[in-house]
Amino acid sequence: MTAQTGIPFRRAIMALLAAFVCAALAVASPKGPSANEEFFIVSSVNPAQGTMVLKRPTEVTLTIRITPGTRCSREDGKSMQPSDLRAGDTVFIAFVGSDPGALVASTVREGVMTLPELQRRYLKRRQQSDTAGQH
């Protein structure tokens, strides 16, 4: 093998290895929550009435509507039905509407709340309000 043919071969092998590493990382790390998704714990699902009762980590409950247009997915990204969810499941939901009685889920995605995400979403606000009260 000459020096000229060895370099392109090495580059091709390196590119192939890099592609495998990127693919492995993409599969190993679940999709994180997007900015418009909120985290909930499923309390109940009633597909016949098109509703879900959800609980926030702050213990506040909320009822939202699910429609045939609501896209539901598992943590691995595969499609699922709202009826597949059970009480205690954790989900990230994006919804439309601003009136608590008229919220409609556009996406429901199974997922776990990581400690860094929990701190970012809930504890930072509490620490800020605790600090503001000390002045």
Structure pTM?
Answer: 0.64
Q: Specify the CATH number for the domain of residue 54.
A: 2.40.50.320
Do 73 and 106 fall into the same domain? yes
Its domain, for residue 110, covers: 38-131
pLDDT for 18: 45
- Dist CA 110 CA 127 (whole Å): 28
Please give the C-alpha separations between residue 131 and each of 14, 55, 58, 106, 117, in angstroms, as whole numbers: 51, 27, 20, 36, 21
Do 92 and 43 fall into the same domain? yes
Mean pLDDT in runs of 10 for the chain (135 residues)? Answer: 58 49 38 74 94 91 93 94 94 83 90 84 61 55
pLDDT for 36: 80
Do 44 and 26 fall into the same domain? no
Structure-token pair, residue 94 = 């994006």
Do 88 and 121 fall into the same domain? yes
Q: Are residues 103 and 53 in contact, defined by beta-carbon separation less than 8 angstroms?
A: no
Number of domains in the chain: 2
Do 1 and 53 fall into the same domain? no
